[in-house]
């Protein structure tokens, strides 16, 4: 007779298979779907998602879950089964706590907000978007109340992306980073002329860029038998099982960085998913444990590996061979400096490794105040611009370069932004430990031998899937909780020679 845990797992196969199927439909939508397919695709996705939600949040799931919890109470709490049941409980509670009426209302609000944003951004019309943003934060407040929280409403929203993390902890860490990062940026900006990256803009053959990306993915150990790379306007990574983890990239003919570093970024996400234990396939332990840890891996491979002086020694000769007209007269040091140019920018997604986190802090702080009501939506543009001036020393000329710049708020993904900066922090803290455990790491990077690093990360991070929440995982790997200091130390050490600080 099957035990309670197996019965629960079996019931959830349907949910996981429906989610994977929706993933395939989404991948197709963003890569190959002809434009006429959109209307039917939206219907198909809606049907799959609502069936998945229906099966998952049904009382039958709750009953099996309760029985499975009784069963795992007799097991080692560190066992895969016990951990898996804990993850399912967390997701189940989230799924059943939200009343259907609230979910539907949110969907209506975000639908309208998205339409409004599409019209208001090009028209630079914040007044037109304002009522939608008010509705967004209002429904997010109700959502937080329905979900429940430990200390403050934002915890509920943050916890969906970063289980186990508290707003208060995050704020303390971010504030500490900010205290050092703002002056660091300022002194770099003052030495703006020290670094020239003109070589990265010009005309770069797309096929050669593609080939370079493939060879870098191969060097990273991305498994092409269990995945593939395609092109899409917004690069992403997706998985439909441990054996099928796909990445996309975009190639800009006139901007060399976009393709290469976008590929390494998604490659980092993909290495995580590809190296989750096979035992977790088709269970709730498959996948990354949090968006912060996921982003730590994408940014580790993109920045800590990809933009390191050591890896440049391996990378640059390959770049020069593929693009002799552009790089034939350069050496790897000049290339390294160019790809590490720091400059203040208005748009987060275009930001470099140093300024990136400041964009996120800004957004996080504004989200917190908007959610609590401390900041009125009407006052957002002014507050946004003031923070941009204070953190980065620049001010948007218009709201479309400011608080209207991206669609994320229209989608009500409040609580999601901080995971981007968390990724930087987690990434460097894990990176430092990697150097201790792999004393030859710098030489290996210089030789393009990324296998020891990938294997160490697999063993420490990837194989565990969702078994450990981010705070626990980081403690296990680095022997410490998340600490602010490592990130700024890393930046200071790296950028002091680049900018002659």
Rounded to a whole number of angstroms, the minimum distance from the CB of residue 15 to its own copies is 9
Provide the binding-site residues for its own copies, judged by CB under 8 A: 13-14, 17-18, 20-22, 24-25, 27-28, 32-41, 43-44, 46-48, 51, 223-228, 230, 240-244, 246, 281-282
The DSSP secondary structure of 278-319, one letter per residue, reads: GGGTTSTT-S-S-HHHHHHHHHIIIIIITTSHHHHHHHHHHH
Active-site annotation holds for 266: yes
Helix (H/G/I), strand (E/B), else coil: 477: helix
CB 418 within 8 A of CB 364: yes
CB 356 within 8 A of CB 420: yes
Rounded to a whole number of angstroms, the minimum distance from the CB of residue 45 to its own copies is 8
Please state whether beta strands 245-249 and 229-231 pair in parallel, antiparallel, or not at all (unpaired).
parallel
Ramachandran angles phi, psi of 415, nearest 5°: 100, -5
Complex with its own copies: residue 45 or 102, whichever CB lies closer: 45
Rounded to a whole number of angstroms, the minimum distance from the CB of residue 400 to its own copies is 30
Complex with its own copies: residue 28 or 76, whichever CB lies closer: 28
Ramachandran angles phi, psi of 134, nearest 5°: -65, -45
Catalytic residue among 162, 266, 365, 401: 266
Tell me the C-alpha distance between 372 and 377, whole Å.
11
Complex with its own copies: residue 230 or 379, whichever CB lies closer: 230
Complex with its own copies: residue 27 or 314, whichever CB lies closer: 27
CB 113 within 8 A of CB 135: yes
Quick one: which H or E segment has residue 344?
none
Tell me the C-alpha distance between 374 and 261, whole Å.
38
Rounded to a whole number of angstroms, the minimum distance from the CB of residue 250 to its own copies is 18
Complex with its own copies: residue 39 or 374, whichever CB lies closer: 39
Tokens representing 416?
Answer: 């999601």
Rounded to a whole number of angstroms, the minimum distance from the CB of residue 263 to its own copies is 17
Give me the active site residues, please.
266
């Amino acid at each position: 007779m099957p035990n309670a845990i197996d019965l629960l797992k079996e019931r959830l196969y349907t949910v996981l298979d429906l989610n994977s199927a929706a993933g395939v439909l989404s991948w197709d939508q963003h890569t190959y779907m002809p434009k006429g397919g959109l209307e039917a695709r939206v219907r198909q996705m809606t049907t799959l998602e609502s069936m998945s939600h229906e099966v998952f949040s049904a009382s039958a799931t709750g009953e099996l879950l309760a029985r499975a919890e009784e069963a795992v109470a007799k097991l080692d709490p560190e066992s895969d089964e016990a951990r898996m049941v804990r993850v399912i409980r967390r997701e189940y509670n989230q799924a059943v706590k939200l009343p259907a009426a609230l979910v539907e209302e949110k969907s209506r609000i975000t639908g309208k907000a998205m339409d409004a944003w599409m019209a208001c951004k090009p028209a630079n019309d914040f007044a037109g978007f304002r009522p939608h943003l008010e509705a967004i934060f209002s429904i997010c407040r109700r959502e937080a109340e329905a979900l429940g929280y430990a200390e403050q409403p934002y915890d509920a929203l943050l916890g969906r992306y970063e289980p186990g993390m508290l707003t208060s902890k995050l704020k303390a860490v971010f504030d500490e980073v900010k205290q050092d990062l703002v002056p660091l940026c300022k002194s770099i900006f003052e030495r703006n002329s020290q670094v020239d990256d003109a070589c990265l803009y010009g005309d770069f053959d797309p096929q050669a860029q593609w080939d370079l990306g493939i060879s870098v993915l191969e060097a990273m150990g991305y498994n092409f038998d269990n995945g593939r790379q395609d092109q899409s306007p917004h690069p992403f990574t997706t998985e439909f099982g441990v054996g099928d983890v796909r990445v996309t990239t975009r190639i800009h003919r006139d901007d060399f960085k976009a393709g290469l570093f976008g590929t390494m970024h998604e490659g980092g996400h993909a290495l995580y998913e590809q190296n989750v234990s096979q035992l977790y396939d088709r269970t709730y332990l498959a996948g990354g444990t949090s968006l912060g840890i996921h982003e730590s891996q994408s940014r580790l491979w993109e920045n800590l590996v990809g933009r390191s002086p050591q890896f440049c020694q391996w990378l640059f000769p390959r770049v020069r061979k593929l693009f002799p007209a552009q790089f034939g007269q350069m050496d790897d040091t000049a290339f390294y400096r160019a790809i590490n140019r720091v400059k203040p920018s208005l748009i987060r997604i275009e930001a470099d490794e140093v300024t990136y986190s400041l964009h996120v802090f800004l957004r996080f702080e504004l989200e917190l105040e908007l959610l609590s009501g401390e900041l009125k939506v009407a006052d957002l543009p002014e507050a946004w611009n003031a923070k941009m001036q204070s953190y980065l020393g620049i001010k948007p000329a218009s709201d479309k370069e400011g608080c209207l710049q991206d669609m994320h708020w229209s989608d009500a993904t409040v609580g999601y932004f901080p995971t981007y900066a968390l990724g930087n922090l987690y990434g460097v803290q894990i990176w430092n430990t990697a150097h201790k455990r792999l004393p030859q790491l710098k030489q290996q990077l210089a030789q393009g031998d990324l296998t020891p690093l990938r294997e160490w990360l697999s063993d420490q991070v990837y194989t565990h899937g969702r078994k450990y929440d981010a705070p626990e995982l980081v403690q296990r790997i680095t022997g410490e909780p998340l600490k602010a200091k490592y990130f700024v130390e890393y930046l200071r050490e790296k950028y002091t020679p680049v900018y002659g600080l």
